[in-house]
Amino acid sequence: MKKLIVLVSGNGTNLQAIIDAIEYGRIDASISAVIADRECFALERAEKHKIRTFLLKRTPENKEHYFHDLMKLMEDENPDLIVHAGFMKILPPFIVEKFPMKMINIHPALLPCFGGKGFYGMHVHEAVINSGARISGCSVHFVTEDVDGGPIIIQKTIEIADDDTPESLAEKIHVLEHKAVVEAVEKILTGNYKIEGKRVVSLH
Ligand code: GRF
């Protein structure tokens, strides 16, 4: 059976969507570890489902070897796929190189717009609304060294209402994320795709 690692920092609703999809038999995989960089509700969700959890906080004492420890932990699990589900750290290139096209990330906007450093959380939705865009959505993409710039696997869209606020938009997009992340995990695990430049193309 395929093995997943899920990296989290927050509420963990995307983690929950993956757990549910596994439990309903939609995704044929198991989550071998949930790793967080801070205390968060996502860890409680994992524990409730008897999934092993690891809390790796970055401190002044471990900052030199923090990312090496994280990499070692992930390597030891030998995962088929690593899902960044609201993980708030940008991984250094040496980790990204270790897991080429084996890490995916959920971003709450339609890449390649509104992505990159500084575009996280509510900042993304504020920027989208201030831009005057009439649609937004979410993207699930491969993690490469280019922050939020890897090949896009799945996107889902939503119309922006005149009275939308960053908060209301975030809420609506969150629902889309849960569908998108499950579809993306399914797609990657079936292996039924190839990557052509920045495009992820279905094989049949
Ligand atoms: C999501 O909005 C995701 O797009 C972003 O972080 C948030 C995580 O939400 N990368 P949750 O912890 O899965 O509820």
pLDDT in tens, 134-187: 999 999 999 999 999 999 999 999 999 999 999 999 999 999 999 999 999 999
Q: How many angstroms separate the CA atoms of 44 and 12, rounded?
A: 9
> Whose structure tokens read 């430049």?
197
pLDDT at 204 over 90: no
**Which is the closest atom of ligand 1 to the Cα of 9?**
12
Residues in the chain: 204
By C-alpha distance, which of 108, 136, 137 is closest to 120?
108
Q: Identify the pLDDT of residue 113.
A: 98
Q: Identify the pLDDT of residue 12.
A: 98
Q: Is 115 in the pocket of ligand 1 (CB under 6 A)?
A: no
Q: Rounded to whole angstroms, what are the CA distances from 111 to 24, 29, 59, 128, 133?
A: 30, 27, 32, 11, 13
Residue 45 pLDDT level (bands cut at 50, 70, 90): very high
What is residue 158's three-state secondary structure?
Answer: strand
By C-alpha distance, which of 105, 162, 107 is closest to 137?
107
Q: Is 148 in the pocket of ligand 1 (CB under 6 A)?
A: no
Catalytic member of 84, 107, 141, 178: 107
Q: Identify the pLDDT of residue 91.
A: 96
CB 15 within 8 A of CB 6: yes
Percent of the chain with pLDDT over 90: 99
* Residue 123 annotated among the catalytic residues of the structure: no
> Whose structure tokens read 């949930």?
34
